[in-house]
A and B are shown apart, each in its own frame.
Chain A
Amino acid sequence: AQTVTQSQPEMSVQEAETVTLSCTYDTSESDYYLFWYKQPPSRQMILVIRQEAYKQQNATENRFSVNFQKAAKSFSLKISDSQLGDAAMYFCAYRSARQGGSEKLVFGKGTKLTVNP
């Protein structure tokens, strides 16, 4: 079974600075998808960014980018120019892309990000 590990229960960053959240995963599959979700205090899950494993190029969405290292099974999230609104729980998630495989998302335990003014 696939597992997702987020080794940082909590992180903090100063407003306007950069922070990197770590995520590693374990899988025997070669094709899969990886996601970062944000859960603010409202508890609404919001997709931040996604990455297809077959793509070598790291995904980028405005101030959010990932460092995808397939061989190392690492998928870190970098938030640049941090804003107060970025404060939230961040969850890394994995989904198999195997034909006929499960479509469920496997989540890590999350990292609570605090942004200091």
Chain B
Amino acid sequence: GAVVSQHPSWVICKSGTSVKIECRSLDFQATTMFWYRQFPKQSLMLMATSNEGSKATYEQGVEKDKFLINHASLTLSTLTVTSAHPEDSSFYICSAKRAGQNYGYTFGSGTRLTVV
């Protein structure tokens, strides 16, 4: 089956530093990647959608200069949280969609980010 590897699974960083989260589709080509944020006991909030080779489309209210998304290849997308602050602490999940498939959404296992 399709697998999306997300790393790291958890990270602790100091305020003001940047953190990069990677999502790799291991056995398929992901033409579209979705990045979500999930607060405790809440739903997934879509942050941005990225297509391979083009700029990401951010949801309203999401700071594109703070959450940098790169989708440089069909198997790798990265989310960089720049100048992280404690309020950025959250659970981040990626989801990869296979080209030509309407239901082919494969989720990564998530990254728990704690900013101290």
Determine chain A's interface SS by DSSP, over half rule.
loop
- Which A residue's beta carbon lies closest to that of B110? A43
- Which A residue's beta carbon lies closest to that of B36? A107
Binding stretch for chain A, among B20-28, B64-72, B95-103: B95-103
For residue A115, CB closer than 8 A to chain B, the reply is no
Determine chain B's interface SS by DSSP, over half rule.
strand
Which residues of chain A are near B44, meaning CB under 8 Å? 45, 91, 107
Cβ contact within 8 Å between B43 and A109: yes
Which residues of chain A are near B110, meaning CB under 8 Å? 43-44
Cβ contact within 8 Å between B43 and A91: yes
Interface string of A30-44 (1 = CB under 8 A from B): 000101000000111
Cβ contact within 8 Å between B109 and A50: no
Interface string of A44-81 (1 = CB under 8 A from B): 11010010000000000000000000000000000000
Which residues of chain B are near A102, meaning CB under 8 Å? 49
Cβ contact within 8 Å between A109 and B107: no
- Which B residue's beta carbon lies closest to that of A43? B110
Which residues of chain A are near B38, meaning CB under 8 Å? 43
Cβ contact within 8 Å between B43 and A44: no
Which residues of chain B are near A45, meaning CB under 8 Å? 44, 93, 95, 107
User: Which residues of A line the B interface, CB within 8 A?
Assistant: 33, 35, 42-45, 47, 50, 91, 95, 97, 102-105, 107-110, 112
